[in-house]
Each structure stands twice: as structure tokens, then as C-alpha cells.
Structure 1
Amino acid sequence: MSSQQESNWPSWKIALAVGVPIAVGGVGYYLYKKSNRPIQDSSNGEPLTARKEPEGRPSTGRSQDETQDPFTAATKKKNEGNAAFKKGKYTEAIEKYAEAISLCPVDYKQELSTFHQNKAAAYEKLGNNEAVIEECSKAIEYNPKYVKALFRRSRALEIMGRKSECLEDMTAVCIMEQFQNATSMVFADRVLKEMGKEMAAERYKNRGPIMPSVLFVNQYFASFTEDIVSRPLTDVERANTESGYICGRLALESGDLERVIPECTREIEAATSSEQCQTQKTETVASPISDVPPNYLSAAYLLRGSLHLLQGKAASARPDLDKVIEMDIADVKLRVNALIKRGSLHMQEQRADEAQADFDYAVKLDPQNTDVLHHRGQLYILLDKTDDALKDFKECMRIKPDFALAHAQYCYSVYRQAFSRRDAIETRRAMAKFEELIKETPNCSESFGLYAQALSDQGDFDRADEMFQNAIEVEPDNATQYVHRGLLCLQAKQDIEESVKLVRKAIEIDAKCDFAHETMGTIEVQRGNLVKATEHFEIAINLAKSEMEMAHLFSLKVAAIAQANLVKKYGITTPTFGPAS
């Protein structure tokens, strides 16, 4: 499962540095809250949520001599334009607003901005978006913080396909409204997601393979308890250097990851071109634990597909996994592992039905396989099928009582179910069960980490921090635990310096930890270090394991860039948290 959990707040809002501690990865997002009173539009004193059209109340002007005062004459034309607008006579309204603009003295900047904005509103009704942009731009020249004009120009820019400019305007609107206007928030969120998706589609399609760190790869394979391709090699197997698969395994073991795929390919090419292999495939099980002369074809496909998967190359991984799944004569453990990995790929791509089908088929092939039950349980959690998840986790525990991670997931699922139902008694029982679990599984970092998240939910931050420290002590090379602890520092103590220190430690341990770079980017935005933020987001983008993950990261980067541009253009900033460095 991903390190990052769901939040009710869009992640781009976090990236806009609303000046509060954030916590990602199970701790949740904690955002800066300001007054709930209606935000006032500086142009006319009305709440922003109103946005009435056309703008400006009827007025007799500032002079009592209406025949000679230009402003009074301009106001009269504006009022006539408003009347025409309300009758749906938009062309006539535009003419009246134009007359008002020509008559109005240049020192009446507030009124001129309103006249141009009203003219833009009429052009919008006629579908003339170029004119809308032009008139709104003139309004903003007179009043740079004119929210209504920025909002209208943003809509027109989106229609014209100028999404970066659209986002800048809408970002300015959200900041000026202190993130309290739902319409603006939804608009900005949609544009960011669209931009992130478009950018990710292009980058993901054209990028080369990115090999994750040795630490990450080792942790990935260690997460499977019944995976044949990661089991220890025998002395006899180690001596078989003629086999590409064995050489690939040795390369994996030594951390020479770049050699694994070529060696597996050598095994596959030799096996598929050999007449002996063709005969053997009809007579023996194609697995590395066969009693006959070893045929590693299915294992080589699985190992190569796994590395492709870790590189984020789904298009290359899927055919290899398909091959193993379709090999009826392959060892069932290999086929089930391939189904788990293909199912996980479907989960990444948000194809829950296909993931469910793969996991269900894997359980049918090997009902006692705890790896598939554990992964299917995680899918059920994502689908909010907690009761089904608990059944799978419980079955894991029955089959393999020492499967600590299954125990941890079971405890956390029970806790989340009770907590979401606001069942205080069951929540306390779940927390007590966690206390028992950490005593029973002192060497399982996930037990401490999940308990820390539950404690954080309960507001017991000191105890949560203690649990994260225990998790780090058990698994000091697990970079994500440092990130989680750093985020807790923000949430509990608003200690951004300690948080930065911990996340930097995570990056020191694993420079390819995308979660750490994403989190550091978000923190740097909060500190006002927008250039550093975009650098970290870009690193995380290059490390993304899926197109969907990449789209999310692009949205964060684009949001940071939009804010940086606003600082240059208008001097608009959000409150920063902690000193910039």
C-alpha cells in the first residue's frame, strides 16, 4: 500500500502553504484555520460567495452637479449598462460600459476596475473569451486584488486552454479568500488534477526506467513470505552460473540491480529457443525447486516482471506476469505471486474489479497462501470493506501465527473500524490490543508504526513519537518511518526544524525515497522556499512508480510554481511556517 493516506483536503491546498503543519502518510492533514466570517471583496464590500452580476449599485455619484461631473455621467452609463445586462441585452450593456469607461476620470481606479469587470461579464455571456480576458486584465490593472475579475479571467483562460495562467489566477483567488470559498477550491482542484494528469501522461510515456534503491527493492521482496524467487539459493544453485536466472538472483543479492533484467532475459531467450526446454515444459514443473534438471523459465519471467514493476514500467511488467500466470505447469507459488503483483498493478491504476479478480483467483489456486490473503485484505481496506479485510487478516494469522504484519494490520483495521464508528469502548479495546501486540512482536516495525498512527488519531502525540522511535530502532534503514516521525513533529509540536531534520535523514538513508522528497517539497513550500520545493517535487516525479502517482506529484509541483509566480507578479503570499533556509 502507498505511504500516503487519503485526506478530505485536496493535496494542492497543502502545497499552497496555508501556513500550518501538515502530516502525510496516516497522520492526516492539519491545516491552518482562519475566521469563518464571510471574506469581503475589496471592490464592493459584498461577501465573495455572492458574486452578483452585474456589479455596482445604482449611485448618484460624488457630485451634485450631474450635468458637469464626468464621474456622475460615467456612473449613469454604468447603471444603464447594468439595466441592459439584467434584461439580457449584452451587446447594449457592453456599449454602455464602454461609454462609462470613456467618461470616468482616471483617478477613480476602483470604479474603473468595476466597469471593466462588468464589461467582461457581458462578453462572457456572449462567449467572447478573448474579450473577457482583455477586460478582466484591465480591471486587475486598476485593482490587482480584484477577486471577481481574477475568477472570471481564470474561467476564460481555462476555456482558451491556457491552464497555467488559469491556475495562477485561481490560486490568487483561493489565497485572497483564505481558502473559504468552496466554488474556488473545487475549481482549482479540478484544474490542478487535469494539469497533473496531462503532464504525467506525457512524462510517464516517454521516461526511461528508474531503478529504485537497493534498500527499497530488498524491503519489497522481503514483504513476501512465500515468494520462491526471493528464497535463499542453495550452494548447488549458486554454482550454476550458466543460468541467466541464477546470475540474476546473484546480482539481486549483491545489489547490482541493473544486471538483473538482462540476466533474466538471457535465461528466457535460452529457454524459449531450446528444443530441450520445449520438451521439458510438457513434462515438468517449470520452477527452481524441480527435481529434474532445473528449468527457471517461469521464475525468470517473474523476477524480470517484478523489476519492471519496481521501475514503474507497467507496460513491460504486465506481459511477464501474464506469462507466469498462464503457465499451468509452473509452480503454484510462482503463479500466485505473479497474480498478487498484477493485482497490485491494477490497484495502482485504480482498477479495483480487476485487482479483486486476480486476488480471488490466487486464493483459489492456493487457499493457504498468506501473501495473497494479506494483499487482498489491503485491497478491502481501500474499498472500505473492513469486515472482509478483517476476515483475510484473521485467516493469515490462523495459517501463520508468527506473521507479525498480518497481526498489525488486523489490529489497525479493528481500531479504524471502531474509531470511524465513534465507538469509544471498542476503540479502547483496540488500543489495548495494540499494547499487547507491540510486546508480542517487538521486532516488527510496522506494529510500532501503525500503533503510532492510532495514538496520533487519539491525540497522544508523545506516546506516538515513542512508537515511531521504536519502529526506527527496529528498522533503522526504513526511510519512511523517519518521514512519519517528522510529520508528527509538525502536527504535535509545530517543530518544523526537527521535522526537516528527520525528513533529511530519510533522504540520506534512501535518496530515492519518493515519499520523503514529496514531503520535503511540501514543507519547503510552507517555509516559502518555492524553488527548493519544486526541486524535491521533480525528484519525486522521476521516482514515481505509477502514472497516477506521478499525476498527483505534478499537481503539487504546479501549485508551488503558481504560488511562486504570484509572489513575483502581485506580491501575494500565504503565511509561512518556520524560517526559510
Structure 2
Amino acid sequence: MASPSDDVRFTTEGWTKWQIGLAVGAPIALGLAGLWYYRRSKNRPKHSDLGIKEQSGETSTVDVAGSGDKSEIEKATDAKNKGNKYFKGGRFDLAIECYTEAIKIGPQDKKKEIATFYQNRAAAYEQLKNYKMVVEDCTQALELDSRYVKALSRRARVCEQLGELAQSLEDVTALCILEGFQNPQTLLMADRVLKDLGKKKAHEAFLKRKPVLPSKHFIRTYFASFRSDPVWNMAMELHSETKNEVNGDIAEDEKNQNQSPFSEALVGLKEEKYGEIISLCSEELDLVDSLHKPEALLLRGTFYFLTTQLDLALTDFTSILKMDNVDKKIRTNTLVKKGSILLQQDKSTEGLDDFAAAVRIEPDNADIYHHRGHYNIQLERLDDAIKDFDNSIAKCPSFAISHVQKSYAEHKKAAQLQSHLQLDGAIKMYEDTVMKFPDFADARALYAQALCDWA
């Protein structure tokens, strides 16, 4: 249990608000702090000077509280000390009463002392899980002493628990500056809160956005992350058949009669005319005698996913999995895509269950391991990611993107461990990948990034 007693506080009267540190950068802010301290120490009277003044009969400039003020602060301190005893004994309600008394009787000009009383009361409220009062008391303490580290730390921690991430990030950033970026726990908290706030803001923006197709490059890259996507492969085969029909002089009206909405969607997929794919698949699904319902659901669900209409995508993928006699490649691809969405939604158990089901259906399908490996990178589970990419490469040695992602996972692991030996291995892996796939731009881009990071 943390003690609420008096603690060391950073006194930086020479600074303006901590936000200036953010505006100009932490190193400059810390440099200003050093300059302030140097000037302050130069101007501070030495003990020997005080002694000379006293011997010469001069009046000391040290602020000595009058007897009335001293009596009040002594009473307030006694109340605080009594509260501390109750706190250590786990009697938090009584501790709060004592700290409240100290706040009431403490002289208003003793700002740092009263700030301590508020902070101690906040500590007691925290033990009782009264987080609203913790935030209020920490705020009062910081209004009296804006550099009060313990109050900043407590408010940052409680605001994180309450989901008030913007305030938490503001406080923990101030802490990092005041501590000179030397406290590992504060730095870890700042990283965690920043990531959580980013996720929250992204989710809010996602809920407000209108469905929009991503760029053609993004869509191409997405389909390239599958080696066994049955719908993409059908589009490629249909394109070949169309060429053969043209060469064989088949009548145009006969081709139009045989062309279903789904086949038009496949042509759109091949020719990168993506705008009508969802509506064409819906037309196909409205046909009573359609022979391509699973494929149309898979393609439509994929484009719902690409336009971030995740609930609609999950509905289509779930409909496929409820069907009987669905081709195993369609079922596997569906499970991988559905599992990926669930993992994005932090439904880890359900998502990983889908990947496990896909492995049971097609254990030699490289796509399963590649996409699970990508998820493991995002979760910083780098050893698991590397194993998945090894599996993917073993199943399909020509799968360029798996080679690249494995190199990236090795690179991240080396960075975390600060291991030059592992870094050399990751760099060598990038080099081999670039040599093996010279036309794959992502390999060169990540290789260049790795060289810059460790130059």
C-alpha cells in the first residue's frame, strides 16, 4: 500500500507551464531546467553569508512564520500526521476526516503544505475506489503546487482507469518531463496511454466515417497477402476464358446472355473497377437459381471489410460458414478473414478459434499462418509471429510477403533486445529477401528502414 505521507516534489519556479516543454521539445525543456537551477544556486545565499549577517546584526531574509501562522500550520500538520496513522492502519474513512480537518485549518498561504493534505486525502480516496474524489483532490493539489509529482502520477493513473485518456496522457507527459525521462515506469505508462488513446480516437473516427473504398494500391496489396484466395483466382481464370472466347469469335450477344452479376463482379475485380462489386454481388445473391452464392458472399464480405463495414462483413462470412457443402478453400479463406476482423475487435479467443478451425481444414494453406503472424506482430508477440511466418514460408516458399514480414518481426525483436547480433541476422534476412524478390517494393522499403534505424 502506498504511503500518503509527504514526498519529494520538483520545484521549478523558473518554468512556465509544462506544455511549453512539449512545444519546444523535452531536451530543450530539460536544458532550461538546468539553466534555472544553475542561476538559482548562484543567487542562493551561502550558509557562511547568513552567519556573517547574523554576526553583524543584520536582519535575516529567511521567511519565519509568525506565531499565529505557526500555530495553525502545526495544528494542521498534527491532523495530517494523525490521518497518516489511520491510513497505515487501513482506516481510510478516519484518515479522510483528518486530512479534511488539516485542509480546513491550514493557513491559505502555506500552499505546498495544503497541497500535501489534498494529495494525502486523494490517496485515501483511491484506497476506497472513490476515483472521482481522487481526481478532484489531485487537481486541487496541483492548483496549489503545479509540479507536485505524486499528485500528477496519481491523477494520471486514476484517469487511465476511468478512461479519461486525454487527461491521463497530459499528466504522464508532464511527469516524463519533470523526471527528466529517467523513470522507466512513467515512460511505459506514457506509451500505453498514448496507444490506448490512439485506438479510442481511431474507433470514434471509424464510427463516424462513411464507407469509402481504399486506394487501388491498397486493394492490390491486400489480395496479394493471400496465395489461395478462391475468388481472386476465379477472377484470373475468368479473364483467361474471356480472352479465349474473343479469340474464338464467340458472338457478343451470347456472351452477354451467359454473364451473371457475379461474373461481372469478377471482371471488375480483375480490371480494378471496384465501385460496383458490392452491388453486383448483392444482385447475384438475389437470384433464386444462383450457382455462386458462397463466392458472392465471400467477395461482398471482403469488400465490406475493405470499406470498414465490419458488421456487414461478419454477417456475410458467418452466412458462408453456416452453409453445407462449401468448397474447403472458400471455407478456409472465410475463416481467415473473419478471424482477422475479430482479432482487430480485440475478440482474441474467437478470432484465434477461427484460425485454428482453418488449420484443421487446410493445414498446408500458407495464408492462415501469414495472417495470424501479422496479428502476432501487432500484439508484440514476436516469437509467435516468427513461427507463423516460418510455417507460411515452409508451405509456400515463393510467398514474398511472408519473407518480408518475417524479416520485419526479426528486426523488431532485435530492436527490443538491443541485440546487435540479432540485428545483423535481420539485416541479412532483408538482403536475402531483396535478392530473392527484386521486384517486391515492400522488401526494399523495409530493408531501407532497417538500415536507417541502425545506421
Is the TM-score greater than 0.5?
yes
Please state how far the C-alpha of 1:300 moved relative to its aligned partner: 1.0
Structure-1 residue corresponding to 2:55? none
Query: TM-score, normalised on structure 1?
Result: 0.53
Please state how far the C-alpha of 1:306 moved relative to its aligned partner: 0.4
Cα distance in 2 for residues equivalent to 1:160 and 1:430: 41
Farther-moved stretch of structure 1 (298-307 vs 204-213): 204-213
Residues 196 and 92 of structure 1: CA distance in aligned 2, closer, same or farther (over 3 Å):
same
Structure-2 residue corresponding to 1:81? 79
- Which residues of structure 1 form unaligned runs of 5+? 1-15, 21-30, 42-60, 278-294, 461-581
Residues 240 and 216 of structure 1: CA distance in aligned 2, closer, same or farther (over 3 Å):
farther
Cα distance per residue 1:401-446 (max 9 Å; x no partner): x443344455666777788888877865664454344333211223
- Which residues of structure 2 form unaligned runs of 5+? 1-21, 38-60, 87-93, 246-253
Please state how far the C-alpha of 1:72 moved relative to its aligned partner: 3.0
Q: Secondary structure at the match of 1:305?
A: helix
Cα distance in 2 for residues equivalent to 1:189 and 1:428: 27
Structure-1 residue corresponding to 2:286? 269
Q: Which has the higher contact order (CA 8 A, sep 6+)?
A: 1
Matches within 5 A, 1:182-581: 182=184, 184-185=186-187, 204=206, 207-230=209-232, 231-232=235-236, 233=239, 234-235=241-242, 239=256, 243-270=260-287, 273-274=288-289, 277=290, 295-366=291-362, 368-376=364-372, 378=374, 382=381, 384-385=383-384, 386-387=386-387, 389-397=389-397, 402-409=398-405, 428=424, 431-432=427-428, 434-456=430-452, 459-460=454-455
Structure-1 residue corresponding to 2:120? 121
Contact 1:62 1:72 in 2 (8 A): no
Residues 18 and 212 of structure 1: CA distance in aligned 2, closer, same or farther (over 3 Å):
farther
* Aligned-partner residue type, residue 391 of structure 1: N
Please state how far the C-alpha of 1:124 moved relative to its aligned partner: 5.1
Whether 2:101 is the aligned partner of 1:95: answer: yes
Cα distance per residue 1:295-323 (max 9 Å; x no partner): 22222111101001112222111222233
Contact 2:79 2:98 in 1 (8 A): yes
Residues 356 and 32 of structure 1: CA distance in aligned 2, closer, same or farther (over 3 Å):
farther
Residues 404 and 199 of structure 1: CA distance in aligned 2, closer, same or farther (over 3 Å):
closer
Cα distance in 2 for residues equivalent to 1:198 and 1:424: 36
Cα distance in 2 for residues equivalent to 1:269 and 1:210: 24
Whether 2:70 is the aligned partner of 1:72: answer: yes
Contact 1:245 1:300 in 2 (8 A): yes
Size of the alignment, in residue pairs? 380
* Aligned-partner residue type, residue 281 of structure 2: C
Residues 298 and 77 of structure 1: CA distance in aligned 2, closer, same or farther (over 3 Å):
same
Please state how far the C-alpha of 1:213 moved relative to its aligned partner: 1.9
* Aligned-partner residue type, residue 336 of structure 2: I
Please state how far the C-alpha of 1:268 moved relative to its aligned partner: 0.5
Cα distance in 1 for residues equivalent to 2:355 and 2:134: 53
Cα distance per residue 1:430-467 (max 9 Å; x no partner): 6445434433321122332343354456x24xxxxxxx
Residues 205 and 240 of structure 1: CA distance in aligned 2, closer, same or farther (over 3 Å):
farther
Cα distance in 2 for residues equivalent to 1:431 and 1:228: 34
Matches within 5 A, 1:157-172: 164-165=166-167, 167-172=169-174
- The alignment's C-alpha RMSD in Å is 4.6
Residues 450 and 355 of structure 1: CA distance in aligned 2, closer, same or farther (over 3 Å):
farther
Contact 2:332 2:358 in 1 (8 A): yes
Q: Secondary structure at the match of 2:396?
A: helix
Structure-2 residue corresponding to 1:544? none
Please state how far the C-alpha of 1:261 moved relative to its aligned partner: 0.8
Contact 1:77 1:97 in 2 (8 A): no
Residues 253 and 172 of structure 1: CA distance in aligned 2, closer, same or farther (over 3 Å):
same
Please state how far the C-alpha of 1:341 moved relative to its aligned partner: 1.6
* Aligned-partner residue type, residue 78 of structure 2: E
Residues 131 and 204 of structure 1: CA distance in aligned 2, closer, same or farther (over 3 Å):
closer
Residues 32 and 367 of structure 1: CA distance in aligned 2, closer, same or farther (over 3 Å):
farther
Contact 2:142 2:148 in 1 (8 A): yes
Cα distance in 2 for residues equivalent to 1:414 and 1:161: 34
Residues 379 and 260 of structure 1: CA distance in aligned 2, closer, same or farther (over 3 Å):
same
Q: Secondary structure at the match of 2:276?
A: helix
Cα distance in 2 for residues equivalent to 1:120 and 1:373: 51
Residues 357 and 300 of structure 1: CA distance in aligned 2, closer, same or farther (over 3 Å):
same
Contact 1:136 1:153 in 2 (8 A): yes
Contact 1:240 1:246 in 2 (8 A): no
Query: TM-score, normalised on structure 2?
Result: 0.65
Contact 2:366 2:391 in 1 (8 A): no
Contact 1:113 1:140 in 2 (8 A): no
Q: Secondary structure at the match of 1:448?
A: helix
Cα distance in 2 for residues equivalent to 1:377 and 1:166: 32
Contact 1:340 1:372 in 2 (8 A): yes
Q: Secondary structure at the match of 2:180?
A: coil
Q: Secondary structure at the match of 1:210?
A: coil
Residues 189 and 74 of structure 1: CA distance in aligned 2, closer, same or farther (over 3 Å):
farther
Structure-2 residue corresponding to 1:176? 178
Kindly indicate which of the two structures has a greater share of residues assigned to helix: 2
Cα distance in 1 for residues equivalent to 2:63 and 2:419: 68
Contact 1:434 1:451 in 2 (8 A): yes
Cα distance per residue 1:447-499 (max 9 Å; x no partner): 32343354456x24xxxxxxxxxxxxxxxxxxxxxxxxxxxxxxxxxxxxxxx
Rg comparison, structure with higher value:
2
Please state how far the C-alpha of 1:249 moved relative to its aligned partner: 2.9
Residues 453 and 161 of structure 1: CA distance in aligned 2, closer, same or farther (over 3 Å):
closer
Cα distance in 2 for residues equivalent to 1:240 and 1:406: 42
Residues 363 and 79 of structure 1: CA distance in aligned 2, closer, same or farther (over 3 Å):
closer
Identity %: 30
